Every structure is written in C-alpha cells, then in structure tokens.
Structure 1
Amino acid sequence: MSQAVPGAGRALAARSGLRRNKVPEVTVHFWIIKVLCTTVGESAADLLDEKAGLGLTGASVLMSALLAVVLVVQFRSGAHRPGVYWLAVALVSVVGTLISDNLTDDMGVPLVTSTAVFAIVLAVVFVVWYRRERTLSIHHIDTTGRESFYWPAVLFTFALGTAAGDLVSERMALGHGLSAVLFAAAIAAVAIAHCALDLDAVWSFWIAYVLTSPLGASFGDYLSQPTGDGGLALGTVVTGTLFLAVILGLVVHLPVTRRDAAEPEHPDIR
C-alpha cells in the first residue's frame, strides 16, 4: 500500500482548485476539546477579573485584542491548523463569557434577558449566513465569506451558553453539578433525535454546540467552586490548568493522527 507524501494533498488541492475546510472534522476529540475550552474560558475570565485585578472591562479589552490577532492568523491560514483553530476557540470562549458577565454584573441585565438577546442575535447570524451562503454546514467553511459567519456564530454560542448556564444553575437554584447533568442529558437527547429520528445533521450540530457551553461551564464551576456553593473547591487555577493541559495534549496529538483533518472540497460543492 502506498503512503501519502506530506504536503502532496495540499499541492494537489491547490492545482485542481479544490477548497480546504478551515475547521476540524466532528469527532469525539472535537467535542472533548470544545467542552474543555468552555471550562478554560470560564476559569480564565474569572481569573482575569478577580485575581489579576483587570476587572470585566479591562479583561474584555485585553482578550478581545488577543482574539483579533489569532483570528487574523486563522483567516490567513490556507487550511485547518489545529493549534491556531483551538487557540481561537479558547479565546472566543473567554470573550463570550466576559460579554455575558459584563451584561449581568456590570450593567445589571437579567440573565433571562441576556439569554434571550444572545439567542436572537445567534438566530440572526444563522439567517444571514444561510441567505448568503445557502449552507450552515461546518464541513464547508472553505471560503473567507463562510468563515466570516462561522466565527461570530461560535462567539454567540459561547455567550448564549454562558448566560443560559448561569440562568439554570444560579437563578433556578439547580446547582452546578445538577446543571451539568441536565445539559449532558439535553445533548444526549439531541444525539438520539439525530440518530433515531433523523433530526437534520446541521441543526443537530449547532444545538449540541450551544449546549456544550453551559455543560462545560457548569462542570468547571462544579470542580472549582467552594463546597458551600455546591462545588469541589479545586479552585479556578487548578481546574483551568488541568483542563488546559488536557487540551494541549489533544491538540498536539491531532496533527499526528490527522483524525480531525477534513478532505478538500470541490469549488462547486456547497
């Protein structure tokens, strides 16, 4: 059996006009890293706000600037680069969490209101994206236009997930552990609906993508918060560092296995 020559696929794609997807394939690794990024984002937002003394505004400005730099690198990449992509997702997680926290803590916006607003904004992004590109599939994030819709959608899924997670765990008094179980059950229900009831694959993905944000946040809070608040009292530093180490291990491993690499798409395929 012949082996592929490194770089040959990319060169062939360039010569034949094939387009390379800029985001990873949806695998078990994808969902694990996504949930962990949410937890790291929640921990990092708390650390920057409280421990570093930046406050929500200072932390938001700093992390938004870093996110902008990484997104420039991401947009200029000719293909999916796991390190750049997941760094962008982690930073989006932090910024999305800070946006939600700013509305709730600094501006006094009720969680019910912010959750509804983020849901509406996300729906608008999806509507405009679909009207422009005729697809919401992450298997075809292969043009600058589609990627320009993809990242705002990801940002508002994180913001929505943070607000919804806080609403369920705090305002509904379910606690962090029970909230995590509830969101995990909701994701399982989406998976069952997709497999057994033929729920559309694109909508199944995006619904699950939103739900992984409050799942990760609730799980992270359960590990980090004091026992008096229903947590395990590991602290945000320990929790964030532990999860970040797992993320780094998986991201370093992915280029070796190539399990998250998508095949290039033909320019006529939507």
Structure 2
Amino acid sequence: MSASDIARTPSARRMLSKVPEITIWFWIIKILCTTVGESFADWINMALGVGLVTTAIIFTAVTAAVLVLQMSLRRYQPGAYWLTVVAVSITGTLYTDILTDEAGVPLWISSTVFSAILAVVFTIWFLRERTLSIHSISTTPREAFYWLAVLVTFALGTALGDWTLELTGWGPGLSILLPLVLIGIVTAVWRFGGNPVLAFWIAYILTRPLGANIGDWLGLTPSEGGIGLGTLLTSILFLAAIVATVIYLSISRADVVEHAPRKGVPTASPSRRRAALGIFGGVAVATIALLAYTNSLPHASALADEGPAPSCTSSGTPLSPADAKAAAQAHFPAADIRALSAIASDALSLVDAGDQAGAASRATDLETAWDDRQDSLNAADCRAWSYIDQQIDPVLSSVRATAPDPATEQRSLQALLVTLGGA
C-alpha cells in the first residue's frame, strides 16, 4: 500500500494485508472451497429439511458471524480467512438456488442480475478506493468491498455454471472442461501481459462453476454421470483437504504476503495490455458462440433435478409404464396423485394455450410439490417413485428451456399424466 493510498483513507483502520498471496495454494484451496459450497449446500438443505429459504437464512447468520471474526483480525490468518470463504461459498450458492428453485427465476436473468450487482460493487469500490487489487486489502472499507464482491462472485458463478449446463445438457464430467479450459486461457493471457486485476477476478468467478461441476461429478450416481460418492462424503473429503491445506499454510506461511516469494509476476507494455483485452473479448465471443451452438442441438437439461435422488434398493427389472401406473395408484396416497395430476394438467393446458410463462410457473409448482412428497412417496414405493421422478425431469427441462418446443412439452406432460392417471 503506497503513501498516497494511506493519505486517501485517513479515517480507515490500517492493517497488514488481510488476504493471502496469490500462489498455487490459493487456487487449490479456492477450488476445494467452491466444491464444498456446492456439495455441502445440497446436503445441508436435504439434512435440515427446512427448505432452501430457511437454510439460506441460517447460513446468512453463520456467514455474518464468521465475517465479524475475520474482519476483527488485523492481519491474514489462514484458518479464519478460508473458513469465511467456505461460509460465503455455501451462502452464495443458496441465494442462487433460491432464485432458481423457489422463485422460478430463469438462470439467464439470475446471471444478468448478479453480473450487474458485481459491476456496481466494483464501480463503487474503485471510485472510493481507486483500486480493485486484492493486494491492497489493508483497511476495513476495502475488506468489506472485497467480501461483498466475493459473495456476489459465488452467486454469479453458480448461476453461470447452471445456465451453461441448461444450455448445453452436458453431464457433470464433460462440464468440468469448459471452465478448466477458460481458466487456462486466462492464465496464459495474464502471463502474456493481461491486466492482473481483471485476470484475477475472471479466474475467481470461473473457479465457482469448476468446483461445482467437480462436486457434481463426484457426488452424483453413475446413472447421472457421476462416480457416486454422494454429497455428504464429497463434502467430508473436501473439507478434510481444506483443513489439511490450512494447517500446512498456517505452519509454512507460504501464502503470507510478507513471506511468499512473488516470482514470475509479468510486466507488460501498454500494447500488450490492449492486445490482452482483445484476446479476452475474442474468447468471450467464442464461448458465447459455443454455448449457442450446443444449445441449438437436441439435448436434455442436466439441471432437471439437481439434488441427488434417494437410492432405490429394490431389485428386479425396471417397471413398465403400465406397472408404474398401477404401483403408483396402489401405493401412493390418492390425494397426492390428484394434486400432482392437477398441476401437470394445468401446465399442459397452459402450453396448449401458448402461455409459456404460466406453464413455467406451474412446472415450478410441480417440482415443489414433488420434492415436498419425496420422502413419503419414495418410502411407499421406491421403484414407482423413481419412474415418475425420471418422467418429471423432461417436463421441467422442456418447459423451462430457453427456446421451448411445444410438441416436446406436450409429450413429456402427457407421458407424466398417463402414469398419474390424469390423461
């Protein structure tokens, strides 16, 4: 921090740097934290069973308490800092999930809103402090701006990652590649001479979908494209890795600004800086073109049901449509069948009438009603529950598609209604 910086903030409480040096350890533990943010948020929401909104309120309070601890310190402490990142990661994920799953806000709107909020935060931060560099986090106002920006980047990264999956239909394994490649490009452009602050924040946002996709790949079942560790085991493994890394950093102090060697930090001429901006713009255009192309191809959304389905241990061959209908009618409460059938029928009527917004709203009602009955219906007949759950997925993905196809929507809703007995 320069003397001129200090002069501009005479009333601020000056401290030593409150953030770690940006070494390979920073990015390793950041990705670990984002993976925990995805898997632990999913698990805790199911474990508490109080709904997304209440879970988000709980973690907002937890994050506030952790932030009070972090901001009361006068220098960077690995344990407090990374505990704050984990808490903010979970909370930011829950905020996006509320908009998507509870309020039914399309992901492109969430991504746009969070991008606008982040732009406002950066603008106010820069106008007040004249820098966005995290190496300048040595006053309370700057630290407050920093953590607000971090919270918004987690929410934005969640929305962008989920929107990408919705557009492409990629499975969890394949979906890791896009953010990984983009982070590699950002690193190369930074080494070429790109603006380090811009490169840092782009990479920071991209690590969120990367970590989330890694968490999905590890936690989802093989039938869903994952390796089947489950959200709880994935969370435990990554939390253990975070703890081990924090202990190492606390002992070695390898990421403390005063001690960490700052080797290989590139310097660049103005012409290289301008060329780097052009490269960033070109990569952005190419990425948008790739997503638009993949979205134009036939695919099913990978987000039709983000939460892991309960395990069905029933043996035997998969149910036929007739058997699934008979099992549902025999084992599920008639009131539940009628309620679900009525919602699906309403959605189909709205699709037939061309009211896409109304159909999407009823699709959200269907998802909520199904999730609320998940435990009781799965316990009543696991195989019938799994069959209908797999029928609800294409309903949600087709009705919520960016460019919905009425014929596809009608087929998926009619198939569901046949099983529910409401066709």
TM over 0.5: yes
Aligned-partner Cα distance in 1 for 2:155–2:179: 16
Structure 1, gaps ≥5 residues long: 1-16, 265-270
| Match 1:230 to one of 225, 237, 246 | 225
| Match 2:22 to one of 26, 36, 48 | 26
Query: Which residue number in structure 2 is paired with residue 80 of structure 1?
Result: 76
* Deviation for aligned residue 1:55: 1.2
Aligned-partner Cα distance in 2 for 1:18–1:186: 36
| Match 1:245 to one of 236, 240, 244 | 240
| Match 1:140 to one of 136, 151, 157 | 136
Aligned-partner Cα distance in 2 for 1:219–1:116: 24
Query: Which residue number in structure 1 is paired with residue 87 of structure 2?
Result: 91
CA contact (8 A) 1:21 1:141 kept: yes
Aligned-partner Cα distance in 2 for 1:221–1:171: 17
Greater relative contact order: 1 or 2 (C-alpha under 8 angstroms, separation 6 or more)? 1
Which amino acid counterpart does residue 209 of structure 1 have in structure 2? Y
CA contact (8 A) 2:78 2:250 kept: yes
| Match 1:62 to one of 52, 58, 76 | 58
Aligned-partner Cα distance in 2 for 1:238–1:216: 15
Structure 1 residues 187-236: Cα deviation after superposition (integer angstroms, max 9, x where no partner): 0000011112x110001000000000000001110110122221111100
Aligned-partner Cα distance in 2 for 1:115–1:175: 20
Aligned-partner Cα distance in 1 for 2:17–2:109: 36
1:194 and 2:218 are equivalent in the alignment: no
CA contact (8 A) 2:79 2:250 kept: no
1:203 and 2:198 are equivalent in the alignment: yes
| Match 2:211 to one of 211, 216, 221 | 216
1:131 and 2:127 are equivalent in the alignment: yes
Aligned-partner Cα distance in 1 for 2:174–2:185: 16
Report the count of equivalent residues: 247
Aligned-partner Cα distance in 1 for 2:233–2:59: 21
Query: Which residue number in structure 2 is paired with residue 8 of structure 1?
Result: none
CA contact (8 A) 2:89 2:154 kept: yes
RMSD (CA atoms): 1.4
Which amino acid counterpart does residue 38 of structure 1 have in structure 2? T
* Deviation for aligned residue 1:244: 0.6
* Deviation for aligned residue 1:78: 0.8
Structure 2, gaps ≥5 residues long: 1-12, 260-423
Which amino acid counterpart does residue 241 of structure 2 have in structure 1? V
Taking a change above 3 Å as real, the CA distance of residues 61 and 144 of structure 1, as seen in their structure-2 partners, is same
Percent identity of equivalent pairs: 50
Aligned-partner Cα distance in 2 for 1:218–1:240: 13
Query: Which residue number in structure 1 is paired with residue 257 of structure 2?
Result: 262
3-state DSSP of counterpart to 1:142: coil
TM-score (structure 2 length as normaliser): 0.57
Query: Which residue number in structure 1 is paired with residue 44 of structure 2?
Result: 48
